[in-house]
A and B are shown apart, each in its own frame.
Chain A
Amino acid sequence: MAKYVSFSSRRRRPAWIIARKVTTYLFLSLGVVVAVFPFFWMISTSLMSLGEAQGTRLWPSEIHLENYVNAWKEANFSLYLWNSVRITFLTLAGELTFSILAAYAFARIKFPGRDFIFTVMLSTMMIPAMVTIIPNFLTVTWLGRIGPLKWINNWPALTIPFMGSVFSIFLLRQFFAQIPDELYDAAQIDGAGHLRFLWQVVLPLSKAPIMVIVILSFIGTWNALAWPMLVTNSPDWRPIAVGLVSFIDEAGQMLNLMMAGAVIAILPILALYFFAQKQFTESIARSGLKG
């Protein structure tokens, strides 16, 4: 009887809670659709004939897998993919090196004018990228003229200007500043200097923000188009995004091939995201960053 009473007394969830959950899931489902639809459209279009791709169909009447082979051949993807890998690797390596060291200095070393310099640096984030593109181009051109290294049509123009990222320095500095001073004191007692403390204590604790930087920088570098088009005039160092542009001409777009190329181009980004998903979401949760 007691058992029976116990079951019968179990309260039903109030209707408003169920309604709230349903509403929440409806909104979330809508969000999923909004997020997934462009990918669905891209993949679907990549399998269409050109005629169908120009229209409004959502799914091809006939699957054209050969679009992937054609896109790869037509857009010189073999070379451009390799170039993108090289450019991204160099940019990431440089950005991480300089950002980590600069952020550490801003967070944990006291030196005259530190906060002022940091503020000035942050203020550069307010300058629209459009405004900096001409001075940047003139700078890399000038550096190519005066130095031994060729900048235009070469890796320096494609990578070095992006190695100093204010956003990365800012993000890391915020994380580094939260690390308790006691850890540094303990490390100092054990004979560690700043470099060892950074390497052996700070960096292992900062995997999440570093992964955020890796992913955001990877995406930015991988998808870059306007700057590489500006500083390269031969295929030698052109990245994969340039290959995608070649499917647009004065009279139209080969949308099916362009989308097949886009699928190929985003595969490395997706792979990286799945690999680093845990750290990425963790970091966003910790830092309160929003996309």
Chain B
Amino acid sequence: MSTKLFKAVSLLVVVFSLVLAACGPAATPTAEPPAPTEEPTTAPQPTEEPTAAPTEEPMAPEIDPTGQTVNFWHVWGTGLPNETMLAIVDDFNAANEWGITVNAVDQGNYSNLEDAFNAAVQSGDLPDLVTGYTNAMANWYAVDAVVDLNPYINDSYFGLTAEEQAAYFEGAINGGKAPDGTFFAFPISQSENVLFYNSGWAKELGFENPPANYEEFKAQACAAAEANNADDNPDNDGTGGLVLYAGASNVASFVFANGGNMQNADSSGYDFTAQSVVDAASFMKDLWDAGCAYPTESYPNPEFATRKALFTMSSTAGLPYQIAAFDAADAIKDEWTIAPFPGKDGGQSVNLFGQYVAIANTSPERMMATWVFIKYLTSPEVQVKWIEGSAYYPTRSDAVPLLASYSESNPIWAYGLSFLQYGKAEPAWPSWTSVRRTVGDIFNAILQGDPADIPTLLADLNDKAAEAIIETQQ
């Protein structure tokens, strides 16, 4: 090769390397993925929305889902939930009369899946069915990446009958709806944010039942903290009461138990200055200042299993982890259970975390095929299979009787079943994604600050939440 030619080739290589270098991050990227900015095409409407639930099955569907492939992105990639979901998908693929093929793909955890779906919105390579948090789905709906489910639910051929619609728990259904009735997220199962309660230790401390109000809650938490401070083990000093993580879900749980919902009267915005929120904030602050609540760096399962916490707050999805913590060699084999959050004066509630799915905006046939699979997935018999494999809770009441034997062998889970009736869900609004972060920040500031600052901080939270609504509407 001549020197001249080699120089030319080298120059080309340099230029190409520059282009590649510009593409290449300096280190392994860890940033959040891009938020969707481009709006996909408008969602095609599958059918005309009927005014009432179908009563008679028509002869043929208006949209034919025959032969479609449904790509289902989910978060259950390991263990029994994964095996169960794959088995359900296999059964559907083998038996459905429309020749629909569902391809279930694990996308990691919820955060990973959210990133992947946001990326898919950018690339246009959308799946057909996606799992996720409802506030994320609200964002996706806002950019037309997922569609309103009302036309499918009310479809004259594939829709749900009035009886079937009535079987769904109201809390679960409401969790997937926007205030205007848009139904963008469908609940396939649910879990609850509850109190984990060391009833065995509580009995030793002289308390027979879980707390029914703030006064009882404080008495029990402080008695446990005092017991740990008074014993001859210096390692557990400062522990014993409630492990308090002031994240939005826990805050919401306390507010729900006070009868509030963090929304204003017409559900057009947030209201963090309502008495239900002020009472919750004051109570958390009171526990904190009294030394009856403390933080941990990670999931507080070991603390709960070693009498370093009489109460922790967790999703029932965490039950297997808590059971495992009690199996550890250094655990104290106490009797324990779960309990709803008590309100200030005796109310009670749990925060419902649904496992929701949304239909991506693809073609009418693919979307209808996806709905057919959702309908199968949430049918009582299949829901029972899913519950038994995942330890979640059902979303429809007619599945509950079918879970009798599972309830018998899982008493703590069965006890949680009774809480579903007074469960509430967090706002399924696009702004909730950022507002929930602000809630955590403000409530941590409340814990660290002066009790007199609570009204000011909550008013500040209100302002920031209002700004977030405006930002997401732009």
A-side interface residues toward B, CB under 8 Å? 49-52, 54-57, 61-62, 74-75, 98-99, 101-102, 104-106, 109, 111, 117, 120-121, 124-125, 127-134, 136-141, 144, 152-153, 160-167, 169, 193-195, 220, 223-227, 229-231, 233-235, 242, 245-254, 257
| A55, A111, A132: the one within 8 Å of B25 (CB) | A132
B311 interfacial contact with A, CB 8 Å: no
Q: Does B26 lie within 8 Å of A127, measured CB to CB?
A: yes
Are B26 and A233 touching (Cβ within 8 A)?
no
Contact of B105 among A105, A167, A235 (CB under 8 A): A235
User: Given A54-B321, A220-B27, A248-B109: A164 and B7 within 8 A (CB)?
Assistant: no
Q: Is the CB of B14 within 8 A of A252?
A: no
Question: How far is A169 from B16 in the complex, measured between Cα atoms in Å?
Answer: 13
What are 15 of the A-B contact pairs (CB < 8 Å)? A49-B327, A51-B326, A54-B302, A74-B79, A129-B31, A138-B122, A164-B21, A164-B24, A169-B17, A230-B33, A245-B108, A251-B314, A251-B315, A251-B320, A252-B299
> Given the complex of chains A and B, what is the CA–CA distance between A109 and B29 in angstroms?
33
Chain B residues near A128: list those with CB within 8 A: 26
In the docked arrangement, what's the CA distance between A164 and B22, Å? 8
B119 — which chain A residues lie within 8 A by C-beta? 137, 230-231, 233
Given A166-B26, A193-B3, is A75 in contact with B20 using a C-beta cutoff of 8 Å? no
A interface secondary structure, majority: helix
Contacts of B107 in A (CB 8 A): 233
A161-B24 CB under 8 A given contacts A56-B302, A130-B30: yes
* A261: min CB distance to chain B, Å: 10
User: Closest CB-CB distance, A128 to chain B, in whole Å?
Assistant: 8
Q: A130-B29, A251-B317 are in contact. Are A163 and B24 (CB under 8 A)?
A: yes
B23 within 8 A of A: yes
Question: Does any Cβ of A come within 8 Å of B116's Cβ?
Answer: yes
- Residues of A within 8 Å of B77, CB to CB, are 75, 246
Other contacts beyond A132-B29, A160-B20: 7, CB < 8 A: A54-B328, A55-B328, A57-B328, A137-B122, A138-B122, A226-B28, A246-B106
In whole angstroms, how far apart are the Cα atoms of A121 and B3 in the complex?
Answer: 25
Partner of B1 from A56, A125, A134, A193 at Cβ < 8 Å: A193
A105:B13 contact, CB within 8 angstroms:
yes
Partner of A133, one of B6, B19, B29: B29
On whether the beta carbons of B30 and A230 are closer than 8 Å, the reply is no
In chain B, residues 64-98, which have Cβ atoms closer than 8 Å to a Cβ of chain A? 73, 75, 77-79, 82
Contacts of A127 in B (CB 8 A): 26
- Of B1, B73, B299, B325, the most chain A CB neighbours within 10 A belong to B325
* Contact A233 B33, beta carbon cutoff 8 Å: no
B324 contacts chain A at the CB level, 8 A cutoff: yes
Q: Which residue of B lies closest to A153 (CB)?
A: B125
Q: Are A136 and B109 in contact (CB under 8 A)?
A: no
CB–CB B17/A102 < 8 A: yes
Is the CB–CB distance between B14 and A106 below 8 Å? Answer: yes
Assess A51 versus B31: contact at CB under 8 Å? Given A164-B18, A164-B20. Answer: no
Cβ–Cβ < 8 Å partners of A124 in chain B: 21-22, 26
Contact with A along B28-41 (1 / 0, CB 8 A): 11110110000000
Q: In the complex, A254 Cα to B123 Cα: how many Å?
A: 33
State whether the Cβ of B127 lies closer than 8 Å to any Cβ in chain A.
Answer: yes
Closest Cβ–Cβ distance, residue B28 to chain A (whole Å): 5
The total of Cβ contacts below 8 Å across the A-B interface reads: 234
Nearest-CB residue, chain B, relative to A122: B21
B110 part of interface (Cβ distance < 8 Å): yes
Q: Are B127 and A167 in contact (CB under 8 A)?
A: no
Chain B residues with CB under 8 Å of A248's CB are 108-109
Contact at A252–B301, with CB atoms within 8 Å? yes
| Interface residue count on the B side (C-beta < 8 Å) | 71
Docked Cα-Cα span, A164 to B17, in Å, equals 5
Contact, CB under 8 Å: A51 / B328: yes
Quick check: is B112 within 8 A (CB to CB) of the other chain? Answer: yes
Q: With an 8 A cutoff between CB atoms, is B120 at the interface?
A: yes
A204 to chain B, nearest CB (A): 19
CB distance from A162 to the nearest CB of B (A): 5
Identify which of A49, A102, A130 gathers the most chain B CB atoms within 10 Å of its CB.
A102
B233 interface residue, CB < 8 Å from A?
no
**Cα–Cα distance between A169 and B20 once the two chains are bound (Å):** 12
CB–CB A194/B3 < 8 A: yes
CB of A199 to closest CB in B, whole Å = 11
Question: A98 contacts B13, CB within 8 Å?
Answer: yes
B33 contacts which chain A residues (CB < 8 A)? 133-134, 137, 226, 230
User: Of A62, A131, A223, A249, which is in contact with the most chain B CB atoms at under 10 Å from its CB?
Assistant: A249
Tell me the nearest residue of chain B to A131, going by C-beta: B31
Contacting pair A195 B105 (CB below 8 A): no
Contact string against A for B residues 187-212, beta-carbon threshold 8 Å, 1 for contact and 0 otherwise? 00001000000000000000000000
Distance in Å: Cβ of B77 to nearest Cβ of chain A: 4
For residue B353, which residues in chain A have a CB less than 8 angstroms away from its CB?
Answer: 250
Pick from B10, B14, B73, B318 the residue with the most CB of A within 10 Å.
B14
Q: Are B123 and A246 in contact (CB under 8 A)?
A: no
Q: For residue B300, which residue of chain A has the nearest CB? A: A54
**Residue numbers in A under 8 Å from B30 (CB-CB):** 129-130, 225-226
Q: Does B331 have its Cβ within 8 Å of any Cβ on chain A?
A: yes
B115 contacts the other chain (Cβ, under 8 Å)?
A: yes
| In contact, B317 and A250 (Cβ under 8 angstroms) | yes
**A133, chain B: closest CB distance, angstroms:** 5
Instruction: Note all chain B residues with C-beta closer than 8 A to A242.
Output: 108
Docked CA distance A127–B317 (Å): 41
One of B25, B106, B123, B326 near A144 (C-beta < 8 A) = B123
A251 touches B17 (CB 8 A): no
- In the docked arrangement, what's the CA distance between A244 and B3, Å? 50
Give the shortest distance, in Å, between A127 (CB) and chain B (any CB).
7
Q: Which residues of A contact B331 (CB under 8 A)?
A: 51
Residue of A55, A56, A169 with most partner-chain B CB within 10 A: A55
Point out the residues of chain A lying under 8 angstroms from B25, CB to CB: 129, 132-133, 136, 161-162, 227
Q: Are B23 and A160 in contact (CB under 8 A)?
A: yes
Closest-by-CB residue of A relative to B315 is A251
B18 near A117 (CB under 8 angstroms)? yes
* Interface membership of B329, Cβ < 8 A: yes
Is the pair A230, B115 in contact by a Cβ cutoff of 8 Å? yes
CB distance A152 to B20 under 8 Å? no
| Contact A233-B28, Cβ < 8 Å, known A51-B326, A98-B16 | no
B24–A225 touching, CB < 8 Å: no
